[in-house]
């Protein structure tokens, strides 16, 4: 069997992710074999010693597969920008955007809040669109560090701003429910670029408004 055979979806089970001009090449053309995922979920339950013929579990493989597919399917989104006619040159910050994603190591959720800021160049973006930026990347298998970077990179690409800051704070269920079982621990990751990184005043303001102290005093 070749790799392409393995990747070939079952008939009728193909869901091709919506592709918009805003989706980068690595996210395009990812296909989902829903029927295969349901069958695999049933196999997983059986392998875990569960009675898949029990009426209580009859519909569980389908629900499980559909929940995963939903959490891994980004919604279409085109980030409209508009000209910065008034020359606004201070920090624009949207703090506390709730998000959830799936860790690629355990397929367990991590959830928390995102803080996004930028110092505009020639373009501005609607504030509600900043929240959509986050969602665009959370519906994927992730590690938090890469998620942070990808959000920042897309903001840079779309807005060409003078600086960007992205901070994610999240609790990982793979840490709190299993393994070390540390409940309530939050992992904080950040990507600071341009004046948000290099200008002390702007960096300090950004971190303070995210509820974080600036580093090294």
Active site residue ranges = 103-106, 144, 172, 174
Q: How many residues would you count in the chain? A: 217
Work out how close the CB of 103 gets to Zn ion at its nearest, in angstroms, rounded to a whole number: 3
Work out how close the CB of 116 gets to Zn ion at its nearest, in angstroms, rounded to a whole number: 24
CB nearer to Zn ion: pick between 92 and 174: 174
Q: Which stretch binds Zn ion (CB under 5 A): 36-44, 46-54, 166-174, 201-209?
A: 166-174
- Separation between Cα atoms, residue 143 and residue 107, nearest integer Å: 11
Binders in 100-159 for Zn ion, by CB under 5 A: 103, 105-106
CB nearer to Zn ion: pick between 81 and 176: 176
Binders in 76-105 for Zn ion, by CB under 5 A: 103, 105
- Using CB under 5 A as the binding criterion, the count of chain residues that bind Zn ion stands at 4
Strand order of the β-sheet with 163-172 is 141-142, 92-103, 109-119, 163-172, 187-194
Is the sign of the CA dihedral 160, 113, 29, 125 positive or negative?
Answer: negative
Tell me if 174 contacts Zn ion by CB under 5 A: yes
What is the distance in angstroms between the CA of the first residue and the CA of the last residue of the chain? 59
**CA 68, 98, 132 angle in degrees (round to 5)?**
75
Non-local (6+) Cβ contacts of 121 within 8 A are 84, 159, 160, 161, 162
Work out how close the CB of 175 gets to Zn ion at its nearest, in angstroms, rounded to a whole number: 7
The residues that touch Zn ion, with contacts defined as CB under 5 A, are 103, 105-106, 174
């Amino acid at each position: 069997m070749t790799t392409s055979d393995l990747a070939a979806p079952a008939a009728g089970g193909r869901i091709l992710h919506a592709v918009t001009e805003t989706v980068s090449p690595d996210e395009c053309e990812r296909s989902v074999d829903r029927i295969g995922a349901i069958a695999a979920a049933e196999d997983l339950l059986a392998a875990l010693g569960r009675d898949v013929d029990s009426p209580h579990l009859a519909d569980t493989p389908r629900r499980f597969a559909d929940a995963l597919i939903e959490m891994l399917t980004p919604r279409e989104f085109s980030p409209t920008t508009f000209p910065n006619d008034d020359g606004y040159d201070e920090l624009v910050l949207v703090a506390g955007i709730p998000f959830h994603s799936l860790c690629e190591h355990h397929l367990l959720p991590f959830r928390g809040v995102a803080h996004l800021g930028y110092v505009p160049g020639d373009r501005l973006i609607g504030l509600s669109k900043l929240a959509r930026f986050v969602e665009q990347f959370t519906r994927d298998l992730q590690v938090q560090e890469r998620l942070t970077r990808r959000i920042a990179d897309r903001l840079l690409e779309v807005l060409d701003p003078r600086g960007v800051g992205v901070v994610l704070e999240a609790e990982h269920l793979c840490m709190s429910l299993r393994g070390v079982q540390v409940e309530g621990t939050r992992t904080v990751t950040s990507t600071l670029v341009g004046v948000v990184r290099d200008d002390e005043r702007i960096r300090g303001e950004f971190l303070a408004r995210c509820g974080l102290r600036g580093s090294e005093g």
